[in-house]
Each structure stands twice: as structure tokens, then as C-alpha cells.
Amino acid sequence: MVKSKTEYKLRIPSQTENLELIRAFVGLVANKVGFSEDDIGKIELATDEACTNVIKHAYDPKDQKALDVAIQIDYQKFTVLVTDHGKGFHPDEIKIPDMKEYLAELRVGGLGIYLMRTLMDEVDYKIRPGLSNQVRMVKYFIDKDDSQLVQKRDRK
Amino acid sequence: MVKSKTEYKLRIPSQTENLELIRAFVGLVANKVGFSEDDIGKIELATDEACTNVIKHAYDPKDQKALDVAIQIDYQKFTVLVTDHGKGFHPDEIKIPDMKEYLAELRVGGLGIYLMRTLMDEVDYKIRPGLSNQVRMVKYFIDKDDSQLVQKRDRK
Amino acid sequence: MSNFQVKRSDEDQLSSLRVAGFLDAHTAPILEREIQKLLDEGRFQILVDFADLGYISSAGLGVFMGFIEQIRTNGGDIKMCRMNTKIYRVFDLLGFPTLYDIVDDLETAREKFFQTSLNKGSQDNQK
Amino acid sequence: MSNFQVKRSDEDQLSSLRVAGFLDAHTAPILEREIQKLLDEGRFQILVDFADLGYISSAGLGVFMGFIEQIRTNGGDIKMCRMNTKIYRVFDLLGFPTLYDIVDDLETAREKFFQTSLNKGSQDNQK
Ligand SMILES: Nc1ncnc2c1ncn2[C@@H]1O[C@H](COP(=O)(O)OP(=O)(O)O)[C@@H](O)[C@H]1O
Ligand SMILES: Nc1ncnc2c1ncn2[C@@H]1O[C@H](COP(=O)(O)OP(=O)(O)O)[C@@H](O)[C@H]1O
């Protein structure tokens, strides 16, 4: 059903008012390739979280630039790439919260990257500050929950 | 409500199965800037017709390439640019049908460009065969039906 | 996965096609095949019910234009009903209402067929 | 033009917020303002009705986390009801059901408030 390698790209202003459009974009493409409602919801949410981070953290608020969302589809996986051209950050220094502690301490914020990692099969960052900062999120067409991929998903 | 100059870009494979996504894209952005349901429907249909032409006519069917849809918004107008990198054509040689004759002769096809010109305030082509072929369609935020713009809309 | 469906129902000589979803260049071939099948079976009285159609482009209009000549040559017709205003506006913009009977409800559309087929011995005038 | 709404209704000490549409980083401030207003009025018993909510992201969850401490310190609570499965899944994924009462229907949610406020002299137990 899916062509050998297909790409969909969206470039829009980095503004929260465009999150709805971003979700519609990834949702329609995910639906087209045959994901379940459940998986479509996960892909939409993970992409929203990645884009919300760009909108909130990547640029100086008075200097809003473009936000890029690309989808790459091959025979085995659906890849979402969210790219900004902002200041970048150190993904390794971001502490992924322990949810028990988080809730016990009534903390606020800091759930985005945790959600992305929980919702998608693979999540990694390629940071080149000032040039481009990219998060890559992958969902496989066949659920590999009980294969070797689990280790990737569970890394801290 | 609308920022000074804003751009939205979509790049997708040139396939009819993506028309729905294209309509959702322009429809959501048109809704965001405050067009009426009626105008949103017109912009969606005109964009669909322009993209359908790219998909049907621009490329060799066994060599499907990318289709670009861009939206530019300034304080007075909403511009849709549909660009292909295919063989191009001579827009001046395309006869816009006289609908009375068309219907009397039970003709088929050839309604796309006619519809685009009827639905939008301005439609023009910039053809550079092999490089890029672009149709530019404009809808003004204030209906200028009884101003000097009518002459543009009515040209053959 | 396609957001377009046609549901066919036959009632004596009349075939009704209830279309639903989006009718564009991607889905027009589905409707085309359905109408071609009717013609292959010698059924030329075709009522298209637009009640559940949300969108139509010129590719959809083209399907009707592509068959109407053959259908009328065979003493049949395509009649249309229950378009929402958005769909009707597209037909209207192109002057299609001068070429096709487009009516509000199913009952009126059926009656129009029975009127036209009266002289061919309609036994279906009970209702 | 925003696809999110909150409808508030007060009933004795209890304030219900019925949220509708999409709750994301764009619309979360709308809900935030509405809850802040309740706290400014000294109303700390808050029932959130998710029946018409179609989507929530972490920005939406953050609104509840941002107020819960202040609300509980003041003897109040946020209780939630009528989430569709998609919304509930997000709360569940993060373990929120250990922190918030999330129940199926409005009646159960109201009863939970009356139970907790019994010792503060609830005169609202007629029904
Ligand atoms: N695209 C980005 N550009 C700059 N910083 C980012 C980006 N994405 C994430 N971050 C950093 O990672 C942190 C954690 O992100 P997240 O888990 O989504 O929580 P939150 O956004 O609520 O802080 C952010 O606070 C921010 O410092
Ligand atoms: N992007 C394009 N690339 C090449 N040819 C095009 C393009 N757009 C339009 N054309 C030409 O213009 C003609 C008229 O287009 P249109 O009015 O939409 O009717 P139709 O597509 O049904 O023929 C097409 O038949 C085609 O030859």
C-alpha cells in the first residue's frame, strides 16, 4: 500500500495557533497509511509535544521563525521530523521525570519529552545550535513491543 | 488579527490520494484568518483544481514528483501558490469554456481553470517549463466585487 | 481507507446511488465504475442521492458529463437530489441545473422518473 | 476562532467547568484564566466535565497540575468526569488517576464532593 519512500513536508510559523493544523497534517497522513485510531492519536500527540517545545523554547518570543514538520514513510516505519533553527539545547541533560515522584511533588511542566518517548517507538535528537535542531520520532507499522526494539524505547 | 506577512508551505507527493490533505491544509489556514464557510469552500475547491491539474498533467505518470502548495497572508489578501516542476503548458492557449456551449454539447473535462477563475479574485500563471510552473490564486479579505478588481476577475 | 462510498439500491427500473464523503479526482473512478456497471446491466434510470456528500470537485462533475449522452440516447436519465448548499453551489456556478433535474427530496426525484416513463408503461404509480 | 470553550456553572459551593474542543498549548491559557477566576472568588470545589473534549496535550494537563496544590491547601479539590477513552489514555499514561478522582458520570463526581465536604456541614444532600 505504501510507496517505497515518500515524504510529506509542512513549514509554518512557529505559533501555538498552528498546533491544530500540525495535528491535522500528521493525523491525515498517518490515517492514509493505515494506522489505527489509537496509533494516530499517539502520533498526533507526540508531534504536538515536539512542536510545542519548538514554539515555547527554540526562539526568542519576539522573533518567531519557521517550524518544519516532515513525515517520511518507508515500508516498515513512519518517521516524524520536527526541525527548528533556534538556539538548541542539550537533550542529554534533560531529566526524564519519574512519574511517581513527579505526581507526589505536584510538579508542573516537563512532561513533553517523556510523553514523546512513551508514545513513539524511537525518539532521538540531532542538535546543531543556530543551524538546525531536529527531533526524530519513529513509529513502526508492526508493533515490535516484544522484539529487540524495546530496549530503545526504554532508555533513559 | 493577521500578522504582517505569514507563509505556510506544504510539499507532498503528486498523487490524487493527497487532495484531501491539501484541502484540509488550505481550509484550516483559511479558517484561522477568519474567512466565511462559503469562502473557505471556494478556496479549497480552487486549490484542489490547481493541484488536480498538476497531478494529472504536469508529470509523466510513472515519474511522480513533488507538488508544492504555499499560502501567503498579508493584511489584505490570502494567496495560494501551487507549484510543480513538470513539463509546463501555455496557459494563454487554454480556451476557457463558454458554459452554455459546454453544456449544450455535453462536453467532458476542461472545467478546472474555469472554476479557479470563477472562485478566486485573481488567478495567474508563471510557467518556466522543466524548472517550475506556478499558479497564483488570490482571495481578498474584503470582497471587492464592486471595485476595480472585477475587471481582473472577468478577463478571458 | 478512501473517504468516499456509493450505496446502490434498485427498485423496478430505477437505480439509486447514494453517494457519501468526498468526490474528487481520487474517488471519481469509484463512482465511474458504479455507473458503468449500471449501463452494462442495461439500467439507464439513475437517481443520485447526494444527502451524505460533503465535497465535489470538477472531477466529480466530469463523471456525470461522461455518461449523460449515452444514458439519454438509451431513453434514460440521471436525476439528482438532496444536495447540501455547498455542493449545489458548485453545480449552479457551472450552470448544471439547466442540464440535470436537481430536486430537494427523494420523493420528488422518483416522481420525475415516473412522469417521464409513463408512456413506456409504468406499472409503479401506486404511491 | 479558537476551537476550545469552557462553560462554567455554579451550584452551591461546587463549580463545574464543561470543557469542549481541543486543549493544547494554544488554548490552555483560556482554561487557566477560568480556574484562576474561581480561586479569586474563593471557590475551590471544582468539577471538570470532559464530555465534549476531543484532545488534550501536556499543556492541558499542566493547567491542573499548576492549581492543584493551592486548591487542596484551601480544602478544595479538582475532580474529573466523562473523559472519552482517548483523553483518559493520556491521563492514565502519566499516572494522573492516582492523583485525581476521575469518574465516569456527573452524578458520581458530585457525590464524591458531597462525601468529602460532609464534615464541613453540607446542607446540599437533598438529592
Ligand atoms: N526545540 C527545543 N529547543 C530548545 N529547547 C528545547 C526544545 N525542546 C525541548 N527543549 C528543552 O527541553 C526541556 C524539556 O522539555 P519538555 O519535556 O517538553 O517539558 P517542558 O516543555 O514542559 O519544559 C524544555 O524545558 C526545554 O528547555
Ligand atoms: N500544472 C499543469 N501542468 C501541465 N498542464 C496543465 C497544468 N494545469 C493545466 N494544464 C493544462 O490545461 C488544460 C486545462 O485544464 P483544466 O481547465 O483544469 O481542465 P482539465 O484538467 O479537465 O483538462 C489541461 O488539460 C492541461 O493541458
Which residue, judged by its Cα, is nearest atom 9 of ligand 2? B53
Mapping DSSP to helix (H, G, I), strand (E, B) and coil, where does residue D7 land?
A: strand
> Of B65 and C28, which is predicted with more confidence?
C28
Does the Cβ of B86 fall within 6 Å of ligand 2? yes
Q: Which residues of B82-119 are buried (b: 16+ CB within 10 A; e: fewer)?
A: bbbbbebeeeeeeeebebeebbeeeebeebbbbbbbbb
pLDDT recorded at residue D123? 46
**How many contacts does B have with C, using Cβ atoms within 8 A?**
63
D57 CB neighbour count, 10 Å cutoff: 27
Over pLDDT 90: what percentage of chain C? 87
Region C57-62: mean pLDDT is 97
CB contact at 8 A, D77 and D38 = no
Q: Which of these, D83, D103, D74, D77, lies nearest to D18 by C-alpha position? A: D83
Residue B154 has pLDDT above 50, yes or no: no
Structure confidence at residue B156 (pLDDT): 32
Does the residue B1 lie in any domain? no
Question: Using CB atoms, which chains have 3+ pairs under 8 A with B?
Answer: A, C, D
The C-alpha cell 484562576 sits at D36
Q: Is residue A14 part of a domain?
A: yes
pLDDT, position A64: 73
Going by C-alpha positions, the residue among B104, B94, B7, B112 that lies closest to residue B49 is B112
C-alpha C89/C-alpha A146 separation (Å) is: 54
Q: Which residue has the cell 499560502?
A: B71
Chain D neighbours, 3+ Cβ pairs < 8 A = A, B
Q: Pick the residue from chain D with its C-alpha nearest to B1.
A: D1
Strand partners, A10: A69, B10
Per the CB < 8 Å rule, is A19 touching D25?
A: yes
* Residue D115, Cβ density class (10 Å: 0-12 exposed, 13-18 middle, ≥19 buried): exposed
Q: How confident is the model at residue D120, as a pLDDT?
A: 53
Q: Which residue range forms the structural domain that includes residue A14? A: 6-155
CA distance B63 to B59: 7
Q: D touches C (3+ CB pairs < 8 Å)?
A: no
CA distance readout (Å), B26 to A17, B67, B79, C85: 15, 14, 10, 20
pLDDT for D124 beyond 70: no
Q: Is the pLDDT of residue B63 over 70?
A: yes
Ligand 2 pocket check for B112: Cβ under 6 Å: yes
**Angle CA A141–A146–A151, to nearest 5:** 95
Q: What is the predicted pLDDT for the residue at D122?
A: 42
Distance (Å) from the alpha carbon of C1 to chain A's nearest alpha carbon? 7
Nearest-angstrom CA–CA distance, B54 and B12 = 12
User: Taking 80 as the threshold, does the pLDDT of residue D19 lie above it?
Assistant: yes
Options 3.30.70.141, 3.30.750.24, 3.40.50.720, 3.40.50.1100; CATH of D5-118: 3.30.750.24
The alpha carbons of chain B give a radius of gyration, in whole angstroms, of: 16
The pTM of this model reads 0.88
Q: How many domains, chain A?
A: 1
Within chain A, which residues score under 50 in pLDDT?
1-3, 146-156
Q: What is the CATH number of the domain that holds A127?
A: 3.30.565.10
Q: How many CB atoms lie within 10 A of CB A139?
A: 20
CB-CB under 8 Å, B8 with A13: yes
The answer as to whether A1 is a domain residue is no
Cβ-nearest to A99 among D25, D26, D94:
D94
Judging contacts by C-beta atoms under 8 Å, the chain C residues touching residue A34 are 1
The predicted model gives B60-82 an average pLDDT of 93
Q: Please enumerate residues of D whose Cβ is less than 8 A from a Cβ of A.
A: 3, 22, 24-26, 55, 57-59, 61-62, 65-66, 68-69, 86, 89-90, 93-96, 98-99
Q: How far is CA A88 from CA A9, A127, A130, in A?
A: 21, 6, 7
Query: What mean pLDDT do residues B23-42 have?
Result: 97
pLDDT at C100: 96
Task: Average the pLDDT over C64-93 and give the result.
Answer: 97
pLDDT-derived band at B142 (thresholds 50, 70, 90) equals: confident
- Per-residue pLDDT tens digits for A50-77: 999 999 999 988 877 999 999 999 999 9
- Residue C119 predicted with pLDDT over 80: no
Q: Would you tell me how many other CB atoms lie within 10 Å of the CB of residue C33?
A: 11
Whether B57 lines ligand 2, by a CB cut-off of 6 Å, is: yes
CA B53 to ligand 2 center in whole angstroms: 5
CB C23 within 8 Å of CB C53:
yes
State pLDDT tens for residues C90-116: 999 999 999 999 999 999 999 999 887
What is the distance in angstroms between the Cα of D59 and the nearest Cα belonging to chain A? 8
pLDDT score, position A145: 53
What whole-number distance in Å separates Cα of residue B95 and Cα of residue B113? Answer: 9
**pLDDT at position A155, please?**
36
Partnered with residue B72 across adjacent β-strands are: B7, B79
pLDDT of residue A93: 93
What are the chain D neighbours of B32 within 8 Å (beta carbons)? 1
Contact D93 A115 (CB under 8 A): yes
CB-CB under 8 Å, C90 with B19: no
Torsion of CA A102, A103, A109, A112, to 10 degrees: 80
> Residues lining ligand 1, CB < 6 A?
A 49, 53-54, 56-58, 84, 86, 89, 94, 109-114, 133
- Contact status of A31 with chain C (Cβ, < 8 Å): yes
The complex's ipTM? 0.88
Please check whether residue A28 lies inside any domain of the structure.
Answer: yes
Weakest mean pLDDT among A88-97, B142-151, D68-77 = B142-151
From B16-30, C24-38, D68-82, D101-115, the region with the lowest mean pLDDT: D101-115
Amino acid at B40: I
- The whole-angstrom separation of Cα D66 and Cα A108 is 6
